[in-house]
Amino acid sequence: MSGNNTDPQFAGIAALKARHKQQSEQFEAWARRGDWQAFHDEHYDWWTFPIDESSRGQGLAYTVYEGDIAELQKDAAFMRDLRRGAELVAASWGWNLHAADYLASPAPDQRWQDWPVRLYKAARCMKLFGCTREFDSLKKFALLLLQQGRPITYGGYDLSWLFTTGIDPRGVRHERRP
Question: In tens digits, what is the pLDDT along the chain, a chain of 178 residues?
Answer: 679 999 999 999 999 999 999 999 999 999 999 999 999 999 899 899 999 988 878 889 999 999 999 999 999 999 999 999 999 999 999 999 999 999 999 999 999 999 999 999 999 999 999 999 999 999 999 999 999 999 999 888 899 999 999 888 877 655 443 3
173: in domain = no
58: in domain = yes
92: in domain = yes
Q: CB-based contacts of 145: which residues, under 8 Å, 6+ apart?
A: 112, 116, 119, 152
Can you say whether the dihedral through the CA atoms of 159, 163, 165, 168 is positive or negative?
positive
Task: Please state whether beta strands 157-158 and 153-154 pair in parallel, antiparallel, or not at all (unpaired).
Answer: antiparallel
Domains held by the chain: number: 1
b/e sequence 134-146, b meaning 16+ C-beta within 10 Å: bbebbbebbeebe
Predicted local confidence at residue 1, as pLDDT? 63
Helix axes 13-33, 76-92, angle to 10 degrees: 40
73: in domain = yes
1: in domain = no
167: in domain = no
Predicted local confidence at residue 176, as pLDDT? 44
**DSSP structural state of residue 157:** E
75: in domain = yes
Q: CB-based contacts of 128: which residues, under 8 Å, 6+ apart?
A: 51, 52, 64, 69, 176
Predicted local confidence at residue 169, as pLDDT? 83
Predicted local confidence at residue 172, as pLDDT? 63
State the greatest distance between any 2 C-alpha atoms of the chain, in Å, as a whole number: 46
Q: How many CB atoms lie within 10 A of CB 54?
A: 14
Rounded to 5 degrees, φ, ψ at 94 are 85, 20
Domain containing 115 equals: 13-162
4: in domain = no
